[in-house]
Amino acid sequence: MTMEYDLVPAGLARAVEELPLVDHHVHGATAHDLSRTAFEELITESGRPVPGWMTQFDSQLGHAILRHCAPVLGLDPFCTPEEYLARRARLGAAEVNRLLLGSAGLAHLLVETGYRAEELLGPSGMAEAAGAPADEVVRLESVAEQVAAAGCAADAFAGRFADALEERTRTARGLKSVAAYRCGLDFDPAPPSPAEVADAAGRWFAAGGGRLSDPVLVRHLIWTGLERGLPLQLHIGYGDTDVDLRRADPLLLRGLIELAEPTGVPLMLLHCYPYQRHAGFLAQAYPNVFFDVGLGVNHTGARSVALVAESLEVAPFAKLLYSSDAFGPAELHHLGAVLWRRAMARVLGGFVADGEWSAGQAVRVATMVGAENARRVYGLG
Amino acid sequence: MTMEYDLVPAGLARAVEELPLVDHHVHGATAHDLSRTAFEELITESGRPVPGWMTQFDSQLGHAILRHCAPVLGLDPFCTPEEYLARRARLGAAEVNRLLLGSAGLAHLLVETGYRAEELLGPSGMAEAAGAPADEVVRLESVAEQVAAAGCAADAFAGRFADALEERTRTARGLKSVAAYRCGLDFDPAPPSPAEVADAAGRWFAAGGGRLSDPVLVRHLIWTGLERGLPLQLHIGYGDTDVDLRRADPLLLRGLIELAEPTGVPLMLLHCYPYQRHAGFLAQAYPNVFFDVGLGVNHTGARSVALVAESLEVAPFAKLLYSSDAFGPAELHHLGAVLWRRAMARVLGGFVADGEWSAGQAVRVATMVGAENARRVYGLG
Amino acid sequence: MTMEYDLVPAGLARAVEELPLVDHHVHGATAHDLSRTAFEELITESGRPVPGWMTQFDSQLGHAILRHCAPVLGLDPFCTPEEYLARRARLGAAEVNRLLLGSAGLAHLLVETGYRAEELLGPSGMAEAAGAPADEVVRLESVAEQVAAAGCAADAFAGRFADALEERTRTARGLKSVAAYRCGLDFDPAPPSPAEVADAAGRWFAAGGGRLSDPVLVRHLIWTGLERGLPLQLHIGYGDTDVDLRRADPLLLRGLIELAEPTGVPLMLLHCYPYQRHAGFLAQAYPNVFFDVGLGVNHTGARSVALVAESLEVAPFAKLLYSSDAFGPAELHHLGAVLWRRAMARVLGGFVADGEWSAGQAVRVATMVGAENARRVYGLG
């Protein structure tokens, strides 16, 4: 393994290695032990059972776990999946979480709590395991679904949702919309009228509530979120089987971005794979657009260097952030940081080795993307 | 040329070099000699005559022929096109085919026979030239067009087609749809009703039969193919001038993939350039989706390393296959294998040199992609 | 900086370095001095003011200016933005233009004069500063807007426009359409009827004229341009905030390309980022399609090597051209050439180092792309 950093100047490699990261979009780590089946289902975005003729360890993410997480659990890199899972089971979830999260080098976590939260550590549990402060990002659709579940007249929905959002976000640092999953990003970007909202809420309640997917309501949630004024995270691109990737292209958000521009609310485009160049264009064109390449970094493993490189093209460096989008196994929280550091060191180190950037510029940009931009946007001090 | 494999571990380079490949989608080699004009028209996907102010040898594929095929014909690499074509003519088509196919290192070929078959070697001729078994893949549209040409009442078409397909595929290993060429992939994915099929067949016959392009019939062929139960190959992305590349994005197949999932039939997305990342996402999300980057590997030549690298991102490694999609000059069959081996050795060797993968993992993945996945999906034993 | 060309054969590096370039699409350099604010607004495609919490120097283009232009102005590479702008101000616009343009190694410039021409050097000023001949490319929309501004009956518009275009292009080398900005590329590709044109002109004049954006008129201008017979440049992909990038995909032009094919007029797809692979496909499929990756090369800076590499995939090498698309600060004219040379040397040098191309093939392709293709298409002799 002596070749791996040959082209990266030592000072840059060390600076990126030691940089305390702000993970601006992450979910909780699983609080309980995981069977092999459960573990494999959590290291893929596929919502389907893993077919008997394959294993999810035969993937970039699987290889990255055996390479980078095995040593953290005291094993040799490139051990077998069986050895890895046996060690993981012997250590237990709490110790695994402490080992993997504790060594990720995190300075601050913004934890999105709106999806399967009952299985996961909440912000305080995450803070304890990571040894770093953790604040909350609130998912708009979850708040609305709770309002519906509590019972509400259709024409009272808008008011109740606004009140619930205010209450739920008193100490939150950001909001999140999963419009991409619920109706695709090709929705009418204008705020719906109160009558349209009441009508749509009526239809939703009449159908029994549950999963909110009516585009009118999805838009209403976004516009209520924009009024609330916290940075608004939007799921973009790659995700689980639920997403129609064609309708998750960030370029579809152009209308919303322009309408939202006067509010001054930062729009945080999450993940973006394979549309990272589209996101970079929007981040150059519009002052209110920011983005990251989380999730994709973990799932592309050894190829994450290409993804990170493509994120460093036309966007100003003040507009790009770090996230892991880890959900479930703490391996994902650990790898998000490890793979991002290695990819940034290689990409920026390559610019320096090519004579295109100075080492000082490289360290400065790594620090902006890894921490400073998030501190500024979310006011983390 | 001593630098070229500097970063690839020797054991991995040798393993990939010697791996017997299953080419799961290939056409026949041209059985007759070719003029320069005919040769140049077969090394581009353009359906137009080559303009007088250019030569197709000034392309990645042209350079790859002069680099890798010239030595097989006993010439120096990087000879001139004139020297190359003179030697090719002197040797004659049969010897050229034997030299180029015989040195491609193929273990099994699945030969698609539905396009201009009269100019090409069939499966048995291919088996003889390549020194490896060759089975057939049957093109749905060709079978349907033969049914129409034989004469058939509109309301008998569905039955006749099903019977003909059964008969035609007794020993076949797979089916192929060229929906992307005929109507684009943005068709209604649901199976059409018998009445719709009879109506569409009536319109087709009334117009004189010939090229089948009615979306109702294209869909009906696919659904009849799904009932037949053999792995179904679908042309995706890059192809000849006939294709509207916008309407050949694999993400357009999401509806069909989901409707076809209960049948258990493997959907084999072919070529996919430049949508290989889209195909990789579908292969991760859906158990019934597989893909390859054939055709594009040949036409991107020295850049095929980038294409192969992008195919190794989010798809599980059990979902990716090797194909050449060679058609016509045996140079294409030879280069498909040579360029894929070189690209895989470089990409996987890079992961190993970076310290991200073990050499054992690299050899295992090369073997899965180059042969084992195809053996499992097509039941090649 | 001794590492930067390690893998590029010395002869190839020198040949690319010394190649006299034809910049087939460029705008004028700013004739006057620029404040820091004005300068920063000209080194981004964003039409918005630069937010107070960032600087456009924190971008690939910003870094490239400090790396490559600072030494031309007598400063160390990687000086601070403040040092750079202070030196620039002291030298004055005329000297800065002379230094940066004069050292770009240009053999011929085709200057598009239809946008904010009053702020910029015209073709003769550019020729003087660059020490090379400069010809004009005429923007269709600007000529039409001048016809409208001069006053014209709706049913006389078509004739007046054709006459004005003939007059305006007596010595021009090409035409340019900004349909991508005005109505998106998803317009009906057929030529509109005279009645449709008169109707649309009537609506335009009734609304007060000004910015032409009616799709009927945009199409009419293109078809009048095709009749004029000069090579027709089309803005594609990346550009300022005005562009809806989704509607600037070159694949949307398939219908126009096929309808225009019988005219024999070369269609020059400009910029194309991030759709360079789409453009490459069209350039392979259709004899009348050519493309470049200008603009994106400057804005991706150290990453321009990736963009240039992707442009060298499926297109025949006779179909790719060099342009800077520089507009305003002469840094952009200089960097267009410097970054293209460095990217070509690295990409082609990589092919040679990998043993895939000969050094002679690499020099030949660099010469075709950098100069010969443009000379042939535009008849520059």
Calpha distance A34→A40 (Å, rounded)? 9
CB burial class (10 A; 0-12, 13-18, 19+) of residue C376?
Answer: middle
CA distances to A55, A327, A336, B323 from A33, rounded to whole Å, are 19, 15, 21, 42
Cα–Cα distance for residue pair C274/A282, rounded to 1 Å? 12
Pairwise CA distance, residues A293 & A308, whole Å = 7
* pLDDT over 90, % of chain B: 95
Q: What digits encode the pLDDT tens for the residues B168-181?
A: 999 999 999 999 99
Give the span between the Cα atoms of C322 and C337, in whole angstroms: 9
Shortest Cα distance, chain A CAs vs residue C263, angstroms: 34
**Per-residue model confidence as pLDDT tens digits over A261-287:** 999 999 999 999 999 999 999 999 999
Interface residues from chain B to A (CB-CB < 8 Å): 7, 249, 251-252, 254, 277-278, 281, 284-287, 309-310, 312-319, 351, 353-358, 360-361, 365, 368, 376
Give pTM, 2 decimals: 0.97
Contact A247, A186 (CB under 8 A): yes
CB contact under 8 A, B286 and A53: no
- In contact, B225 and B140? CB cutoff 8 Å: yes
What was the pLDDT predicted at A3? 37
The answer to whether the CB of C301 falls within 8 A of the CB of C58 is: no
Nearest CA in chain B to C348: B302
Spatial CB neighbours of C63, under 8 Å, sequence gap ≥ 6 = A356, A357, A361, C57, C301, C302
Q: Please list every residue in chain C whose beta carbon sits closer than 8 Å to the beta carbon of residue A252.
A: 246
Burial A272-301 (b: 16+ CB within 10 A, else e): bbbbbbbbbbbbbbbbbbbbbbbbbbbbbb
**Minimum distance, in Å, between the CA of residue C284 and any CA atom of chain A:** 24
Cα angle B355, B356, B358 (rounded to 5 degrees) comes to 80
Other C-beta atoms within 10 Å of C33: how many?
14
Answer yes or no: are the C-beta atoms of A204 and A214 closer than 8 Å. yes
B258: distance to nearest CA of chain A, Å? 10
A110 near A23, Cβ under 8 Å? yes
Question: Given its phi and psi angles, is residue B210 left (phi above 0), alpha (psi -120 to 50 degrees) or beta?
Answer: left
- DSSP label of C45: S
Task: Report the share of chain C in percent with pLDDT over 90.
Answer: 95
Please say if the pLDDT value at position C76 is more than 90. yes
Q: What is the ipTM of this complex?
A: 0.97
Is residue C171 within 8 A of residue C124, CB to CB? The reply is: no
Residue C253 has pLDDT above 50, yes or no: yes
Of all residues in chain A, the one with the smallest CA distance to C2 is A355
What's the gap between Cα B266 and its chain centre? 16
CB contact under 8 Å between A299 and B313, yes or no, is: yes
Give the number of B-C residue pairs with CB atoms closer than 8 Å.
96
Of C163, C161, C256, residue with least CA distance to C217: C161
> Which residue type does C29 have?
A
SS3 state at B132: coil
User: Smallest Cβ distance to B278: which of A1, A47, A274?
Assistant: A274
Query: What pLDDT score was predicted for residue B2?
Result: 34
Give A-chain residues touching C241 at CB under 8 angstroms. 285-286
Which residues of chain B lie closer than 8 angstroms to C361, CB-CB?
A: 63, 78
Q: Say if the Cβ atoms of B354 and A4 lie within 8 Å.
A: yes
A67 contacts on B by Cβ (under 8 Å): 355-358
Q: Are A222 and A140 in contact (CB under 8 A)?
A: yes
DSSP assignment of A323-358: -----BSHHHHHHHHHHHHHHHHHHHHHHHHTTSS-
Instruction: Give residue ranges of B with CB < 8 Å to any C CB.
Output: 1, 3-4, 44-49, 51, 53-54, 56, 58-60, 63-64, 67, 77-78, 238, 240-241, 244-246, 273-274, 296, 299-303, 306-307, 346
Note the pLDDT of residue C10. Answer: 84
Cα distance between residue C319 and residue C299, in whole Å: 23
How deeply is B23 buried, as exposed, middle or buried, from its count of CB atoms within 10 A (0-12, 13-18, 19+)?
buried
Report the distance separating Cα B282 and Cα A246, nearest Å. 11
Q: Which residue has the tokens 């001729």?
A: B125
Minimum Cα–Cα distance from C308: chain B residue: B303
pLDDT tens-digit map of B99-151: 999 999 999 999 999 888 889 999 999 999 999 999 999 999 999 999 999 99
Report yes or no: A282 and A289 within 8 Å, Cβ to Cβ: yes
Each residue's pLDDT tens digit, C308-321: 999 999 999 999 99
Predicted confidence band at A4 (pLDDT cuts at 50, 70, 90)? very low
Contact list, A365 vs chain C (CB under 8 Å): 58
CA distance B24 to B292: 9
**How high is the pLDDT of residue B6?**
57
Q: What is the mean pLDDT of chain C?
A: 96
The percent of residues in chain B predicted with pLDDT above 70, rounded, is: 98
Return the residue in B56, B59, B247, B297 with the most chain C beta carbons within 10 A, the one to mutate for interface testing: B59
Name the closest residue on chain C to residue A309, using Cα atoms.
Answer: C303
Convert the pLDDT of each residue in B3-50 to its tens digit. 345 568 889 999 999 999 999 999 999 999 999 999 999 999 999 999
Going by pLDDT thresholds of 50, 70 and 90, the confidence category of residue C115 is: confident
**Mean pLDDT of all residues in chain A?**
96
Residue B96 phi, psi (nearest 5): -60, -45
Average pLDDT over residues B71-81: 98
pLDDT of residue C9: 83
Q: How far apart are CA C57 and CA C50, in angstroms?
A: 11
d(CA C274, CA A250): 14
What one-character-per-residue DSSP string does C120-157 give? B--HHHHHHHHTS-EEEEEEHHHHHHHHHHT---GGGH
pLDDT value, residue A8: 80
Quick: pLDDT tens for A354-366.
999 999 999 999 9
Subunit contact B58:C351, Cβ cutoff 8 A: no
| Beta-carbon count within 10 A of A1 CB | 10
State the count of interchain CB pairs (< 8 A) between A and C.
97
Mean pLDDT computed over A203-232: 97
pLDDT at residue number C1 = 29
Q: Residue range B309-330: average pLDDT?
A: 98
Q: Which residues contact C127 (CB under 8 A, 6 or more apart)?
A: C109, C133, C134
Residue B1's pLDDT band (cuts 50, 70, 90): very low
Q: Give burial (CB, 10 Å; 0-12/13-18/19+) of C282.
A: buried
Residue in A1, A48, A244 nearest the CB of B254: A244
- Choose, out of B251, B272, B314, the residue to mutate when testing the contact with A (most A CBs < 10 Å): B314
Closest chain B residue to A80, measured at CA: B361
Query: What separation in angstroms does the CA of B378 have from each of A52, B333, B363, B375?
Result: 16, 20, 22, 6
Q: Report yes or no: A215 and A183 within 8 Å, Cβ to Cβ.
A: yes
* CB distance C20 to C103 below 8 Å: no
**Rounded distance, CA A176 to CA A222, Å?**
9
- Minimum CA–CA partner of A257 in chain C: C241
Would you list which residues of chain A are within 8 Å, Cβ to Cβ, of chain B? Answer: 1, 3-4, 44-49, 51, 53-54, 56, 58-60, 63-64, 67, 77-78, 238, 240-241, 244-246, 273-274, 296, 299-303, 306-307, 346
The pLDDT tens digits of the residues spanning C203-240 come to 999 999 999 999 999 999 999 999 999 999 999 999 99
What span, in angstroms and rounded, lies between the C-alpha atoms of C196 and B83?
Answer: 57
| Nearest alpha-carbon partner for A268 in A142, A377, A140 | A377
Chains touching A, CB cut-off 8 Å, 3+ pairs: B, C
Q: Map tokens 């069209």 to a residue.
A: C282
**Interface contact C368-B51, CB threshold 8 A:** no
Q: For the CA atoms of B238, B243, B244, B246, what is the dihedral angle to 10 degrees?
A: -30
DSSP character at residue B154 = G
Single-letter amino acid code for the residue at A99: L
In sequence order, what DSSP letters do the residues of B84-108 get, joined into one string? HHHHHHHH-HHHHHHHHHHTS-EEE
Q: Would you say the C-alpha torsion C293, C297, C300, C306 has a positive or negative sign?
A: positive
Per-residue pLDDT reduced to its tens digit, C57-72: 999 999 999 999 999 9
d(CA C312, nearest CA chain A) in Å:
18
C-beta of residue C360 within 8 angstroms of C-beta of residue B78? yes
Q: Residue A244 and residue B252: Cβ atoms within 8 Å?
A: no
